[in-house]
Amino acid sequence: MYDSQWRDWKPYVSPNDPCPPIRVKWYIVPPNLFIPFQPMNLPQFPPEEALRRGTLWPALYSPYTSRRSVKGGKPNG
């Protein structure tokens, strides 16, 4: 579900580029882009989990994994 918060694009690669090209770049589209006004009665996390996640509402949660490849995040490919 949360993977849908990533978008990718392919930057132009020139044959003259001096360095090994990054062919795919990623960016996040966080949930606040899709919710103009939070509706009432959205489901909530229990308090301890809410604290850990940084929000009471799963609908507003946006996970982020480090892009360092050692962590298995989304490295620019």
Partner 1 sequence: MAEYNNREERADPPKSKRAENADRNDHSAYCADLEELQAVDFALVELTLYLDTHPMDMQAVQQFNQLVQRRQQLAAAFEMKHGPLMQFGHSYSRFPWQWVDTPWPWQV
Partner 2 sequence: MWIYEKKLQYPVRVSKCDPRMARYLIEQYGGADGELSAALRYLNQRYTIPDKVIGLLTDIGTEEFAHLEMIATMVYKLTKDATPEQLEAAGLGPHFVNHDHALFYHNAAGVPWTAAYIQAKGDPIADLYEDIAAEEKARATYQWLIDYTDDVDLQDSLKFLREREIVHSLRFKEAVEILKADREQKKVF
Minimum CB–partner distance for residue 4 and partner 1 (Å): 23
Contact indicator for 27, 7 with CB cutoff of 8 Å? yes
Q: Which residues, 6 to 25, sit near partner 2 by CB under 8 A?
A: none
The answer to whether 28 contacts partner 2 (rule: CB under 8 A) is: yes
Nearest to 69, CA basis, from 19, 12, 22: 22
Q: Residue 49: name the closest of 32, 39, 34, 61 by CA.
A: 61
Amino acid identity for residue 64 in this structure = Y
Q: Which of residues 35-74 bind partner 2 (CB under 8 A)?
A: 35-40, 51-55, 60-64, 66-68, 70-71, 73
For partner 2, the binding residues (CB under 8 A) are 28, 30-32, 35-40, 51-55, 60-64, 66-68, 70-71, 73
